[in-house]
Amino acid sequence: MCKRILKLGRLAVAIAGLSASFWSRAETAGTDVRNLHFDGSDALAGWATTGNVAVDLTKDRDGRAGALKIAPGGAARLKLRAGDGSGRADFWVYDDGTRPDNPKAGRAGPRWGLVQSDGRVFAVGILYASYLGGSEGYTATASDGKDWFDQLFWLGSNRAPAGWHQWTIDFDPETGLHLRRDGKELHIDLDKAGLQGFSGIAIWGDSGPGAGQTVWVSDVAVTLGGPANLVKTVEADPYDAKALAADPSLHRPVTIYTTNNAPPAPRLEDLPWKSSVSQYGITWTFAQPARVGQFVNGDWYVVGPVTIQAINPRPLYDAEIPRRELDPMDLERPEARRVRNGFMLNPPAAMKVAYDSGVRNWFDPALIQKLPVAMKPGDSLVATISMAKGLVLHAQLRNKIERGEDDSSPIRTAAVLTCAAVPPPPDAFRPAFCDRTQKLYLARNLRRDALPAAAATKSIPNVELYVRFTQRPWVGTCFFGFEEPVENMPQYGLEYGRVAGISALLLCTDLKPEQKEPLLLNYVQVGIDLGGMIRAGHPGWTCWGGHGSGRKLPIVFAGLLLGDDQLAHINESFPKASFGEDEQTAYGDGWTGAKVVFTGHSGIDVVTGAGRSRGSGWGPYEHTPPSTWKDGQNTSESYRRCCTSVGWVAQALALRLMRAEKAWHHDALFDYVDRWMFENDAGFVKTIKTATGRDHDHDWSRQGQAWDAFVNEMWARHRPTLAAPTNGWQQAHDDSYYRTAVETLK
């Protein structure tokens, strides 16, 4: 047999007048299937090519002679239809393992993939950069066909062994892009590739300088489907002015109940009969009409026993969930363990939930429940609405949350329905949803005189915004924000600290009582729920970088205002409960001369007293100079400045204004915050940069400030007037706790 290569050079052939000889074609059930072979002189009819592109009859795969050869600088493109649609393309690609001399220099090696009608492409191939392992594995790219490094997806698929491999790029009409190599699914989230379909395919040669890699493509099979019906991205802010104005829960009348106007509990027959009740977009429908009422914060109760026949939005299970709504976490689970809009009767005070199968780490399918649900007095039912795919919600104060993206929660909102034995008084707070004894607190007993009336400063925020932040139940029993409803509560520890601190600080100002009351009721309810978790056995919220802050203050605050000493002194009542602020502050000798220190990204374990390294050097470090710091210590210093300290300032000031330092029972926090606000770190950031190369000289990372103007102004106006000295951070204290933590660092 005569071996030959058919060279085509810069041949460009229009799509018009295609010959049927270069592909075999079959049309079935609304699809167009095309098989492309490269075994003859007419094999590239219809292709538009540039550079060194040829049919190489000497290259075969499994006995089939002929392949398309794309040399460096070459490209071949085939238009398949006028518009974009769904479909699948299978490429057999020969990678001989060639690598450039410098694999860390930016370089686009051979690529193959789909082309959208506007020129946007999605391709798989070999890309090199300092942050990519192009020598070892493959990368997918989405771009305009020019900037190949615009959006990258590392595939974790090894190039070795050299040889033929089948690549399948599947554009499903409902779920978008999927990728397989040699028939094996590569579980990469490709939603952000930006393609709405494809109209053609293309193969690009190595485009780097010098000697490059040649690639061969054998049979290509293309199946053209119908129009794509993808999820559209929608962005919304549930906390903007328009949303606040439209939220009826923020505008209901609120009565300031005291012992002088204490309302009696209604008689059972005085309550309305209802077949259903609704709150925050969730409707519970009863099997039979039941007597219902509302707690002082607006949450519903039903006098039981009662059976919940339906919930709207309807919980979805297994195959009921549309494929286009599945996220990467869903796809890792068997179909029988998938759920949307889930609910839990009597959620455990533990880090496990079953609201949505998109929850990371804490999802427990054994807790999935289905309707109907029988409720008896003492029960609490937490129902949720799941985040839709493609919905981007603004979170409280900072961050945007989108289902399936990074660490985002897949839960949009939640509401609590309580089953009571008898009607409670109208000023009753809802019992904690983890409290099966249903301990009742009454608003008439709030010690409002414990709230100071510090003069508010000019940057006081819109109080209604913080009413909204605290209105819906904070049902997060887990960690990292993986299951926290985005429309209910903060999504990161720093924002927990900011919302908790600013809410308390607002309640310590000279706002009128009627302005404070809605926020006061909401904030105390948050504290009751968080305290109820601890009482029911929850381990608390340990520090992990910025996570773990913001839970203790609402508990202590609620305890002080309600006269509940167990909650007010939560550290003493439950000494093994973790709270981030406390675990990350301790008395000790710091390298700056301070006598109170930040104890690191992972702090000190309150249960064992040992410093937590977590295998990364994330434990106590400020007793050592920056010249000795490694990556773990530098990480801790970054978290000290970006994600923790600035969120504690309002908390510490509110507690000092309330004279609640003893109730808090961790003096190191107060002195540490004073250090953060009063210590001049100008010279220290220079020392750190010289020693480590890390630059902390930014407005947002310098000491002496919180991120919120209101907090800065309130601190400047009121902290110097308080009796507590402002230099406690410079005074010697018992540092045995810190020294023990360093000695037992794990």
In this prediction, residue 2 has a pLDDT band, given cuts at 50, 70 and 90, of very low
pLDDT for 22 equals: 38
Interval 341-379: pLDDT, tens: 999 999 999 999 999 999 999 999 999 999 999 999 999
Residue 11 has pLDDT above 70, yes or no: no
SS3 292: strand
The whole-angstrom separation of Cα 397 and Cα 239 is 9
pLDDT for 25 equals: 44
pLDDT for 210 equals: 82
Which stretches of 515-615 are assigned E, i.e. beta strand?
540-541, 578-579, 585-587, 596-598
Interval 167-222: pLDDT, tens: 999 999 988 999 999 999 998 888 889 899 999 999 999 998 888 999 999 999 99
The whole-angstrom separation of Cα 107 and Cα 101 is 11
pLDDT for 110 equals: 97
Question: What does the pLDDT average to over 419-440?
Answer: 98
Q: 118: which 2 tokens?
A: 């506007």
The whole-angstrom separation of Cα 67 and Cα 94 is 9
pLDDT for 12 equals: 30
Residue 8 has pLDDT above 50, yes or no: no
Interval 550-590: pLDDT, tens: 999 999 999 999 999 999 999 999 999 999 999 999 999 99
In this prediction, residue 31 has a pLDDT band, given cuts at 50, 70 and 90, of low
Interval 212-259: pLDDT, tens: 999 999 999 999 999 998 888 899 999 999 999 999 999 989 999 999
Interval 438-482: pLDDT, tens: 999 999 999 999 999 999 999 999 999 999 999 999 999 999 999
Reduce the secondary structure of 449-511 to three states and give it as a string.
HHCCCECCCCCCCCHHHHHHHHHCCCCCCCCCCCCCCCCCCCCCHHHHHHHHHHHHHHHCECC
In this prediction, residue 21 has a pLDDT band, given cuts at 50, 70 and 90, of very low
What share of the chain has pLDDT > 70, as a percent?
Answer: 96
Count the neighbouring beta carbons within 10 Å of the beta carbon of residue 205.
25
One-letter amino acid for residue 692 of the chain: T
Cα torsion for 351, 354, 358, 360, to the nearest 10°?
20
Which segment, 33-47, 58-72, 277-291, is predicted with the most confidence on average? 277-291
pLDDT for 618 equals: 98
Question: What does the pLDDT average to over 621-637?
Answer: 98
Pairing of strands 343-345, 400-402: unpaired
Out of 3-17, 47-61, 503-517, 715-729, which region has the weakest mean confidence (pLDDT)?
3-17
Question: What does the pLDDT average to over 45-73?
Answer: 93
Interval 488-540: pLDDT, tens: 999 999 999 999 999 999 999 999 999 999 999 999 999 999 999 999 999 99
Pick the CATH number of 5-224 from 2.60.120.620, 2.70.150.10, 3.40.50.300, 2.60.120.560: 2.60.120.560
Interval 646-661: pLDDT, tens: 999 999 999 999 999 9
**Residue 112 phi, psi dihedral angles, 5° rounding:** -150, 145
pLDDT for 130 equals: 94
Residue 23 has pLDDT above 50, yes or no: no
Residue 303 has pLDDT above 80, yes or no: yes
Cα three-residue angle 127-129-132, rounded to 5 degrees: 75
Cis peptide before 313 (omega within 30 of 0): yes
Sorted by where each begins, the domain ranges of the chain are 5-224, 234-246+260-436+446-573, 578-743
